[in-house]
């Protein structure tokens, strides 16, 4: 039992710490106990060499920013820096004017937007006319170069903090999906800069006996496929799979959430890579991403498809080949620019990124489909050098037979939620954008929600591509679906899309919005979601008798009120 004075110190520390700091302290103390270290071996700096404080704030959607920020906090504390780790959704906005050293790790989602939890902070620094001349800061931006607005949220934060008078002490660092190396380099740059400004105290001796890696906080389920059918009829140009999954425990999710899974690489491609390189398949290997045999890593862990240009550059450096600045599959590289031997290929393996989880909007309802989770997956086809390719995950899912076991987790999408049961909703979900709308309708049907429901759906052909036609028509006949607007683009000479149907229904659509309806858009980001938003702005401008500027302000107000939400990809 602790003496009263010590107990008071601990209670005061606990009450003034964030959740992330408490988790770090827990791992830190556990490490001391398990290794038998004495207090003297980990003593902090003496009072005469006080350590200045830095704040590390993160904005995350998938957990990567949190992971990176936590690693940075651990490294900072090992250097004797008093580092406060906090999520931007818990950050006290008024504290920014008091901060001296502020570092943020932030991802970008949707159309160049900040994560939901970081939006208040983002809006605060953009909409308030205050100055922060005392602030010294740095920004680490996470993104994906396959999207046009790569790292835009981080860029915006970096620029705005500077406009408010903050001093950028390290340049903005933009990171692609293989962020670890760039993030580590940024950490070192920050620590060097802090050292130059005498923030790092040489006398500090904080050396945790063990550095405990934090779990990502995701709950993984052992799933089993119970249904996998193609929703498109014979003669369609598309293949859209309806997949139903159960697990060995209750699956916790809400309408609007997504199912995340990591696909396996094709066995035939893995076999060919092994044959071409002569690598020992049973060789145990540990990369920065995973540990296992070469065959396991190539099959389940490492990305071998459409490699990032940065990975291709590493391949060129390892093999000594002159390779164009482009993206290749690993098998293409090996055929065109062979490795010297198996040992060199092992070095290549260590440079590969991990297979990224794929997110699919859930198309079921926890109240209507007890114990199941459904997803709706379109086979992704694309051309590379005039050769037809298929998306790794969509092809993987399409080929999964019933009774297949696989691992998945639920990705929470807190900015795509149903409103109160009495509220009206307008759903615009062409193609596989129908997935969350099916979830919404099934949930509202199962729970007896009284609000009106209007669905806009579109595809190529009515006969072959009307996804979930029977269910939708049933909801229409029973009154669950108040109004249905359909657009089948290839059933007539002139292509008709959902935005054309919206314009045709402009008067009633604006009436619903004025009456308080919530608007949801799901499906492809480009061009669908942009075309739909432009059409909405036109309708608001024309029906509301507003200028273009006023229409934009009107739509922004809907966003701020949570009445205009998008789930686009």
Q: H or E segment at 84? A: strand 82-87
Task: Measure Cα distances from 483 to 249, 445, 454, 543 in Å.
Answer: 37, 15, 5, 20
> Three-class SS of residue 365?
coil
Q: What pLDDT does residue 22 have? A: 54
- Within 8 A by CB and 6+ apart from 242, the residues are 227, 228, 229, 230, 231, 363, 374, 376, 468
Per-residue burial over 326-343, b = 16 or more CB atoms within 10 Å of its CB, e = otherwise: ebbbbbbbbeebebeeee
Looking at residue 31, what is its pLDDT? 44
| Count of C-beta atoms within a 10 Å radius of residue 172 | 17
DSSP result, 438-483: HHHHHHHHHHT--S-EEEEEEES-HHHH-TTHHHHHHHHHHTSSSE
Predicted pLDDT at 34: 39
Give the whole-angstrom CA distance, residue 222 versus residue 169: 46
DSSP H stretches of helix in 201-284: 267-277
CB 314 within 8 A of CB 351: yes
Strand ranges (E), 232-312: 240-247, 258-261, 284-286, 291-293
pLDDT along the chain (569 residues), means of 10: 56 54 51 39 35 85 88 87 89 90 92 88 88 95 81 94 94 87 89 77 34 54 96 96 96 97 94 97 88 95 90 95 91 97 96 91 96 96 78 92 94 94 98 98 96 98 97 96 97 95 98 98 92 97 97 95 93
At 400 the pLDDT is 93
Distance CA 529, CA 426 (A): 14
Whether 112 contacts 145, CB under 8 Å: no
Predicted model pTM: 0.70
Q: What is the largest CA-CA distance in the chain?
A: 84
Q: How far is CA 327 from CA 294, 331, 361, in A?
A: 23, 12, 28
Give the contacts of 568 (CB within 8 A, at least 6 positions apart).
110, 111, 433, 521, 522, 523, 524, 525, 528, 529
pLDDT at 15: 53
What span, in angstroms and rounded, lies between the C-alpha atoms of 266 and 41? 51
Which pLDDT score is estimated for 278?
Answer: 96
Q: Assign domain 4-196 to its CATH architecture.
A: 3-Layer(aba) Sandwich (3.40)
- For residue 281, how many other CB atoms are within 10 A of its CB? 13
**Which sequence spans correspond to the domains of the chain?**
4-196, 220-256+360-411, 267-351, 425-568
DSSP character string of 99-158: -SEEEEEEE-BTTTBPPGGGHHHHHHHHH-----TT-EEEEEEE--TTSTTTTHHHHHHH
Do domains 4-196 and 220-256+360-411 share one topology? The answer is no
Buried b (16+ CB within 10 A) or exposed e, 289-316: beebebbbbbbbbbbbbbbbebbbebbb
Rg of the chain over all Cα atoms, to the nearest angstrom: 26
**Rama region for 431: left / alpha / beta (φ>0; ψ in -120 to 50; rest):** left
pLDDT of the residue at 52: 67
- Domain 425-568 CATH class label: alpha beta
CATH of domain 220-256+360-411: 2.40.30.10
What was the pLDDT predicted at 517? Answer: 98
Please provide residue 163's backbone torsions phi and psi, each rounded to the nearest 5 degrees.
-65, -30
Q: What sign results for the dihedral spanned by CA atoms 105, 108, 113, 116?
A: negative
């Amino acid at each position: 039992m602790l003496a009263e004075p010590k107990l008071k110190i601990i209670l005061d520390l606990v009450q003034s710490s964030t959740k992330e700091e408490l988790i770090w302290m827990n791992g830190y103390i556990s490490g001391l106990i398990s290794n038998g270290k004495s207090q003297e071996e980990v003593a902090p700096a003496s009072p005469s060499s006080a350590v200045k404080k830095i704040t590390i704030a993160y904005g995350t959607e998938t957990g990567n920013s949190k992971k990176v920020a936590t690693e940075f906090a651990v490294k900072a504390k090992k250097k004797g820096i008093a580092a406060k780790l906090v999520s931007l959704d818990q950050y006290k906005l008024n504290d920014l004017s008091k901060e001296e050293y502020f570092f943020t790790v932030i991802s970008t989602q949707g159309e160049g937007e900040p994560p939901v939890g970081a939006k208040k902070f983002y809006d605060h620094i953009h909409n308030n006319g205050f100055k922060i001349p005392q602030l010294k800061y740095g920004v680490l931006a996470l993104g994906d170069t396959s999207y046009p607005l790569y790292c835009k949220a981080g860029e915006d934060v970096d620029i705005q903090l500077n406009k408010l008078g903050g001093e950028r002490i390290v340049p903005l660092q933009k990171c692609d999906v293989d962020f670890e190396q760039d993030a580590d380099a940024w950490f070192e740059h920050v620590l060097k800069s802090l050292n130059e400004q005498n923030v790092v105290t040489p006398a500090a001796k904080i050396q945790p006996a063990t550095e405990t890696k934090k779990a990502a906080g995701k709950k993984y389920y052992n799933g089993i496929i119970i249904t996998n059918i193609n929703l498109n009829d014979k003669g369609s140009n598309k293949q859209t799979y309806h997949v139903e999954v159960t697990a060995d425990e209750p699956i916790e999710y809400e309408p609007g959430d997504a199912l995340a899974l990591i696909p396996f690489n094709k066995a035939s491609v893995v076999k060919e890579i092994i044959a071409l390189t002569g690598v020992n398949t049973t060789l145990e290997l540990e990369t920065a991403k995973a540990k296992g045999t070469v065959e396991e890593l190539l099959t389940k862990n490492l990305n071998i498809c459409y490699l990032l240009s940065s990975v291709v550059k590493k391949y060129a450096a390892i093999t000594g080949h002159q390779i164009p600045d482009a993206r290749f599959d690993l098998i293409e590289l090996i055929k065109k620019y062979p490795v010297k031997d198996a040992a060199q290929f092992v070095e290549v393996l260590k440079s590969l990124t991990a297979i990224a989880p794929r997110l699919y909007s859930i198309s079921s309802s926890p109240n209507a489909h007890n114990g199941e989770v459904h997803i709706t997956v379109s086979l992704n086809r694309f051309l590379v050098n005039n050769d037809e390719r298929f998306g790794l995950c969509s092809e993987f899912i399409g080929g999964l037979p019933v009774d297949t076991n696989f691992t998945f987790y639920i990705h929470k999408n807190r900015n795509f939620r149903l409103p109160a049961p009495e509220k009206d909703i307008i759903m615009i979900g062409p193609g596989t954008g129908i997935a969350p709308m099916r979830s919404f309708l099934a949930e509202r049907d199962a729970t007896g929600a009284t609000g009106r429901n209007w669905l806009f759906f579109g595809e190529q052909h009515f006969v072959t591509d009307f996804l979930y036609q029977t269910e939708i028509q049933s909801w229409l006949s029973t009154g669950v679906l108040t109004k249905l607007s359909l657009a089948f683009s290839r059933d007539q000479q002139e292509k008709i899309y959902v935005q054309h149907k919206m314009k045709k229904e402009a008067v009633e659509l604006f009436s619903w919005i004025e009456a308080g309806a919530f608007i949801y858009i799901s499906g492809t980001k480009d061009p669908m979601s942009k075309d739909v938003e432009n059409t909405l702005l036109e309708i608001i401008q024309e029906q509301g008798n507003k200028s273009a500027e006023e229409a934009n302000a009107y739509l922004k107000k809907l966003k701020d009120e949570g009445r205009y939400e998008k789930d686009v990809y």
